[in-house]
Amino acid sequence: MPSARLPRIVLWLFCGLVIVFLVAPILVIVIASFNGTPFLQFPPASWSLRWYVRFFASERWYEAALLSLRVAVVVTIASTALGTLAAIGLVRGRTRFRAALELFLVSPMVVPVIVMAVGLYFLLAPLRLTGSAAALVLGHTIVATPIVIVIVAAALRLSDGSLELAARSLGATWWRTVRYVTVPQVAPAIGAAAAFAFLTSFDEVVLAVFLGGPDATTLPKRMWESMRFEIDPTLTAISTLLTVVATVILAAAQLARRAEERS
């Protein structure tokens, strides 16, 4: 029945093209990063690792990467703690304002980051905090916490609340119950949430540009500045490394989720 098969083939072809559209930019950057010519070329005429060498040899890029890493680690800890507690409060707690609270706590996800950047600048400039790693940590925490809340709250809604009820009826205090029953139950989701919080901070550009100033330059901020003036082929190597970092973190989060499904 070729006539019945035809729509199916067309659907696969169309979706194949959509997938190519999604994946092509990443493939192009990865291939271009091994380019051997002194300027950006695709497809490359010769191959080398010169752009990776240049990235690791340059103190400018290296220091930016180090700052990004430091900021992202602090943001991961802060937003995972805040977000996990808030998610437990939202899902397990009883309050009349739950729907409104949840709406408020996830709303930073849709507020344009540029607006938050301007607002935080007004807040932090008088305190002389702009241009510091602290400013970046504060800004990124507000962007990362809602992601943690969404992921952990979803896991809590699927988990079994009666275990906590049992713990309470056996005499555990509410805090001990949270600490030893609720949190371990959703530990894989918390791990996944932490991974996404890390990535969110590590890749964030707009807040970094506005709040970083000349003294606190993260890797994305340095890339952004470089992109706006000239196309430096070193960017392809850095982009490839960032993609590798993202893929590894994504895979780790996925494994954590799978562990959750098994438990």
Q: Which of 80, 136, 236, 256 binds another protein (CB under 8 A)?
A: 236
Q: How far is the CB of 176 from another protein (least distance, A)?
A: 12
> Is residue 138 a contact residue for another protein (CB under 8 A)?
yes
The sign of the torsion formed by the CA atoms of 168, 170, 172, 178 equals negative
Q: Which of 102, 185, 191, 217 binds another protein (CB under 8 A)?
A: 102
> Is residue 54 a contact residue for another protein (CB under 8 A)?
no
Q: Which of 133, 149, 189, 197 binds another protein (CB under 8 A)?
A: 149
Q: Give the dihedral of Cα atoms 223, 225, 227, 231; nearest 10 deg.
A: -100
Q: Give the dihedral of Cα atoms 206, 208, 212, 216; nearest 10 deg.
A: -150
Locate 258 and state its tokens: 């799978």
Please identify which residue in the block is written with the tokens 């499904």.
261
Rounded Cα–Cα distance for residues 64 and 246 (Å)? 17
**Collapsed DSSP state (helix, strand, coil) of residue 194:** helix
> Is residue 118 a contact residue for another protein (CB under 8 A)?
yes
> Is residue 249 a contact residue for another protein (CB under 8 A)?
yes
- Give the range of 14-22, 45-53, 56-64, 184-192 binding another protein by CB under 8 A: 14-22
**Residue 168, Cα to own-chain centre: how many angstroms?**
36
- Give the range of 53-61, 69-77, 92-100, 184-192 binding another protein by CB under 8 A: 92-100
**Collapsed DSSP state (helix, strand, coil) of residue 35:** strand
Rounded Cα–Cα distance for residues 108 and 67 (Å)? 24
Residues 172-211 that bind another protein (CB under 8 A): 174, 178, 196, 199, 203, 205-206, 210
Q: How far is the CB of 103 from another protein (least distance, A)?
A: 6
Q: How far is the CB of 261 from another protein (least distance, A)?
A: 13
φ and ψ of 34, to 5 deg: -95, 15
> Is residue 53 a contact residue for another protein (CB under 8 A)?
no
> Is residue 42 a contact residue for another protein (CB under 8 A)?
yes
